[in-house]
Structure 1
Amino acid sequence: MTDTLRAEILALSRAHFEARANPRFVPGETYIPPSGKVMDAEDCAHLIDASLDMWLTAGRYADRFETELAAAFGRRYARLTVSGSAANLLAFATLASPKLGDRRIRPGAEVITVAAGFPTTVAPIVQNGCVPVFVDVDLETHNVDVALLEAAITPQTRAVMIAHSLGNPFDVVRVAEICRRHGLLLVEDCCDAFGATIGGQGVGTFGDLATLSFYPAHHITTGEGGAVLMERGPLAKIAESLRDWGRDCYCKPGVSNTCGNRFGWKLGDLPHGYDHKYTYSQIGYNLKMTDMQAALGVSQLGKLGHFVARRRENFAGLKRRLRERGLATVYHLPVATPGSEPSWFGYLLTVRDGAGIDRNALVARLEEKRVGTRLLFAGNLTRQPAFRDVTYRVHGDLTHTDKIMRDSFWVGIWPGVTEPMLDYMADTILAVTRELGG
């Protein structure tokens, strides 16, 4: 009876979702968001299926999502967490864990990164008492200048932690080789780049750890959510412990004696036989994903290939339209890193020097005309209020980073963007550019 009722509920949930009206795009009236989610009836059914279990923490869907996610990403292990930002924190904390011994990143160590990006790629460096070392990016790929990265290495450098910018891979082949030669740890923030490759190899498979975000703006969504991925079992064990309160026990929620020795351990200064489920070997967090979120992730993951393909199609379509309208002479248009196949997150335009266009006026007019825009996140982190009292080092200068801060913006090419939307976006960018004197 229960199975029959469940099947009926899920069938009705699919029918309900399909019955919802899809709004028609009206140029100049319908807002074109710079990012968004694409959902279907199966997503709805998965979410409701998990809710019917009334198992509100990680459960059967979380186990499945971790397994399938690791396989899709090309890593042996995945550990789900509550957001991409939490994934970055968990990844760095894993590499800073005393359980790594002499290889750990200790407080005071330098970590090379970039200032042109999202703050929570860099925040874990600061939160773990380390020193960010910022190097500049180039204007074409909006990614780290690898020559500057290697020149920034000092005896205090212990790691590199950088994001693949807007789905365009940084040259992680060279960066990974530099890290190998200098004995540095590498964290790849792939939150904007799920499905991108370089040299035929998936991003996130070069570093010691990689991170993903499943926020609705990203390639697949669980609402809120993220993941840390790795190849080595010891790193997975450390990450899982830190995510789950820092406990030494590795039982799944609702399981009590995986090790078969729950009341037989002698750890720390605790009395012999102290319950292993309440023994803590690290200073940790609670960053677990719920099973309802994981159920949505399982459904979304099956559509990843389609979503990535649509992003690439929209990128190519918008690029062609902008070139046809002569806008490549006014803006730097994004260029894929050599040897890469990006999984584009957004389409970045940077006003060329001498073009006479004020970026702030430009994005304000585009928004008025219902074309959504975003900046390249923090622009230059060193100029953000939060970094006024942070200890950091800049290698060289951040000329291109400042240029991006002043003159760059991006528009949407997510899978929900249609051909008529691309036409309207290109026409509107051209009209506003001319209006402002470009």
Structure 2
Amino acid sequence: MTQLLAADPERDAIVAAARAYFESRPKPAFVPGETYIPPSGKVMDGNDCASLVDASLDMWLTAGRYAEQFERELAERCGRRYSKLTVSGSAANLLAFATLTSWKRGPKAIKPGDEVITVAAGFPTTITPIVQYGCVPVFVDVDIETHNVDVDLIEAAITGKTRAVMIAHSLGNPFDVVRVREICRKYDLLLVEDCCDAFGATANGQLVGTFGDIATLSFYPAHHITMGEGGAVLVDSPLLAKVCESFRDWGRDCYCAPGKDNSCNKRFGWRLGDLPKGYDHKYTYSHIGYNMKVSDMQAALGVSQLTKLDHFIARRRENFVELEKRLRAAGLDRYYHLPQATPGTDPSWFGYLMTVRDGAGFARNDVTRALEERKVGTRLLFAGNIIRQPAFRDVAYRVHGGLTNTDKLMEDAFWVGVWPGIDAARMDYMVETLADITQALIAGRDPLALVRPAA
């Protein structure tokens, strides 16, 4: 429940008015062929608006009471001891990896030149922290149906320089994290789980984000819940939690909450580095850090959205099942690889990835251009094969084996939405439109010439 301040009738009236205003806004009707169906989006209600306004009335513009509440409730929901809020999922990945490089970890700290096993098919900011800290990403291939890491390739990619595995659960479908964790334990490797697309997914009944040494989440509007912009790092280790907070909060050694002083009861009793004894601990810096803190208004939205997480996850799973049923009934599985859940997992689907089969007789780009023209939103599997991106032209990396399936996904895969804002009417239109476009391409007709009558 949202934390409440002392009774204040005027404040309560403002918050209630904000809730009522949001709920009273008209909801546009869906018109097939005219209303755009985005592949992802946020679902908001009056309680979200009320929480946002309530936080704004505090005029406490940095992290405050809502941030404290959200970190506590998020950690409990995720099955971790600590959560540390930050400005985005990408920032969470950067902070997670930075945490593992801290000198406070002693000889276990990741150092420049160390290797980190990952995949090239996915979002760039799962990989860029590896590069930004001077380490070498080692890429292994994925499989087509789950679009996740081929775990059979990991062990052979390990060398004496390998220190960690950092991989995302792709589009809400967990990779085989049980096997990956076993490999990491066998070779004493760190495991970083990027759960930004997979909030609430499980493997063997256990939440993703609880297998690794450290994990991340994103609260961008496209994700399962939103703070607008936001993310979180999840850990159990008190040391890692404190180090993560240091990197997030300018690199400072002090761990006082905003607006608080002397939590350690020896603010002027420390002696660190070459500083004089008693140098103010609030201005002692133990890491080369950042400022990646959130505002309390963002956190207030997160508190409200978290109460709806289970419903959002259930709707995504229902939409995935219904979309697959419709696609198979239309015979489209003959032309597209349809996504499959990794065995032993229960995904929390972010998107529905389809890959044009070899020999289908048409190209992915022809499909996506026509879908977009007819108001069905599509996305690619993010960076595709990231080593082909211009940003990686001069990056040091290593590829173990080939990236055949990664290239296949880059060339032929796209995804459409399963987010809670997609209802039966939208889904029917999506499938009918894809079927029309596919049949036109097979027949050699221009799918852009198709015009569906308005409903």
Corresponding residue number in structure 1 for 2:171:
166
Given residue 407 of structure 1, which amino acid in structure 2 is its aligned partner?
A: D
Corresponding residue number in structure 1 for 2:451:
none
Q: Secondary structure at the match of 1:410?
A: strand
Cα distance in 2 for partners of 1:272, 1:315 equals 60
Q: CA deviation at 1:16?
A: 0.4
Corresponding residue number in structure 2 for 1:216:
221
Given residue 107 of structure 2, which amino acid in structure 1 is its aligned partner?
A: D
Matched, 1:292 2:297: yes
Given residue 32 of structure 2, which amino acid in structure 1 is its aligned partner?
A: P
Q: Secondary structure at the match of 2:8?
A: helix
Matched, 1:333 2:329: no
Matched, 1:431 2:436: yes
Quick one: which of 310, 313, 320 aligns to 1:308?
313
Corresponding residue number in structure 2 for 1:112:
117
Given residue 165 of structure 1, which amino acid in structure 2 is its aligned partner?
A: S
Cα distance in 2 for partners of 1:198, 1:131 equals 28
Given residue 414 of structure 2, which amino acid in structure 1 is its aligned partner?
A: F
Given residue 367 of structure 1, which amino acid in structure 2 is its aligned partner?
A: E
Cα distance in 2 for partners of 1:349, 1:388 equals 28
Cα distance in 1 for partners of 2:310, 2:417 equals 18
Deviations 1:133-176 (A, max 9, x none): 00000001000000111111111100000000000000000000
Given residue 240 of structure 2, which amino acid in structure 1 is its aligned partner?
A: L
Corresponding residue number in structure 2 for 1:180:
185
Given residue 40 of structure 1, which amino acid in structure 2 is its aligned partner?
A: D
Matched, 1:101 2:112: no
Deviations 1:225-269 (A, max 9, x none): 000001111110110111111111110000011111111211111
Quote the RMSD (CA, aligned, Å): 0.9
Given residue 85 of structure 1, which amino acid in structure 2 is its aligned partner?
A: S
Corresponding residue number in structure 1 for 2:446:
none
Corresponding residue number in structure 2 for 1:21:
26
Give the unaligned 5+ runs of structure 1.
Answer: none
Structure 1 segment 200-239 matched on structure 2, within 5 A: 200-239=205-244
Quick one: which of 12, 30, 36 aligns to 1:7?
12
Cα distance in 2 for partners of 1:210, 1:2 equals 39
Corresponding residue number in structure 2 for 1:48:
53
**Aligned residue-pair number:** 438
TM-score, normalized by length of structure 2? Answer: 0.96
Corresponding residue number in structure 2 for 1:404:
409
Cα distance in 2 for partners of 1:426, 1:151 equals 41
Cα distance in 1 for partners of 2:377, 2:115 equals 37
Q: CA deviation at 1:377?
A: 0.1
Given residue 132 of structure 2, which amino acid in structure 1 is its aligned partner?
A: Q
Matched, 1:65 2:67: no
Q: Secondary structure at the match of 2:234?
A: strand
Deviations 1:10-41 (A, max 9, x none): 11001100110101111111000000000000
The percentage of aligned residue pairs carrying the same residue is: 72
Corresponding residue number in structure 1 for 2:448:
none
TM-score, normalized by length of structure 1? Answer: 0.99
Cα distance in 2 for partners of 1:265, 1:376 equals 49
Give the unaligned 5+ runs of structure 2.
Answer: 1-5, 444-455
Structure 1 segment 234-249 matched on structure 2, within 5 A: 234-249=239-254
Q: CA deviation at 1:320?
A: 0.2
Cα distance in 1 for partners of 2:7, 2:59 equals 14
Q: CA deviation at 1:130?
A: 0.1
Given residue 224 of structure 2, which amino acid in structure 1 is its aligned partner?
A: H
Matched, 1:143 2:140: no
Cα distance in 2 for partners of 1:98, 1:80 equals 22
Deviations 1:321-371 (A, max 9, x none): 000000011000000000100000000000000001211111000000100
Given residue 349 of structure 1, which amino acid in structure 2 is its aligned partner?
A: M
Cα distance in 1 for partners of 2:94, 2:377 equals 30
